[in-house]
Homo-oligomer: A and B are copies of this chain.
Amino acid sequence: MTAPIIINEVGLRDGLQNQPRLVPTAEKLALLDALRAAGLRHFEATSFVSPKAVPQMADAAALYAALPQDETTEYAALVPNRQGYERARAAGARSVAVVLSCTETMNQRNINMTLAYARRVSAEVMQQARADGLVGRAYLAVAFHCPFEGPVDPAVVRELAAEMIGAGAREIIIADTIGAADPLHVARLFDLLIGEHGAAALSGHFHDTKGLALANCFAALERGVSKFDASIGGLGGCPFAPGAAGNLATEDLVNMLETAGYETGVDLDGLAAAVAVAERCVGRELGGRWIAWRRSQAARRQNRAAS
């Protein structure tokens, strides 16, 4: 009754990009090894942005050159514009993703473009990817709630999704960038988009800021969506705000899916090992709810053994 679910691991990019410690390429590759060992096969590997704007991603080309290749592993690169696209293509990327925010203010604050300009740039990149035979994917950021403009009209998301699909995007990733979505909103928006493009063209990217990411994933999952972003150990979000979780932790998503009988191909013990590698990368404790539970179980066993 349950189809395999694809988990797109975004820890290497979305997770690392704002970390205060500059993570060397070799450590990123070690983290990737651990993630692959756990069974993950889809990765947002890096972002071809300005190294000045995002120093953490300055090694994008070098990282791409070193990515282990096999027939089942897929890597995607984020590209902010045509220049980034050309760099990604030159580096050997076969899948590229643009990020288009759904509101005027968010585009201006985030990438200093008007919404009109941002959608033109994103459409051009999708068209070029299609022309070049690359997979194009489009993130629609703040698709539920914008920190500057408030609730986002589903009609706007619908229009942008149609535009990106029209330009050649193979997949639209609906992103709750600030963790403000609720499962009813997710249900409504996905119902709308699935009606137009089918569930296979859609993916969900949920943040766990207030603990709603799994409920939001489930709302999309129930509607047939089978691709979700997640970040190992919840890596990402604001590193200076303990408790203010950012990305949905990969292990939390895998735990929910596997408990519910979905096939992910991912091993939870392997993810726990990858969390430890990610912790060494960023120099602080990571882990979502499943890791907290696992640690508490280990502590109980130790207490029992000691008594």
Contacts and interface: CB of A to CB of B under 8 A. Distances in A.
A245 interface: yes
Number of copies: 2
A238 B296 contact: yes
Interface residues of A, number: 42
A180 B296 contact: no
A184 B211 CA distance: 18
A209 interface: yes
B243 A210 contact: no
Given A183-B218, A212-B256, A289-B210, A297 B244 contact: yes
Contacts of A208: 289
A252 B243 CA distance: 14
Given A183-B260, A184-B261, A289 B218 contact: no
A295 interface: yes
11 contacts: A2-B184, A182-B260, A210-B255, A210-B289, A210-B293, A212-B256, A218-B219, A241-B296, A243-B296, A244-B293, A245-B292
Contacts of A183: 215, 218, 256, 260
Interface string A16-40: 0000000000000000000000000
Interface string A214-242: 11011100100000000000000010111
A259 interface: yes
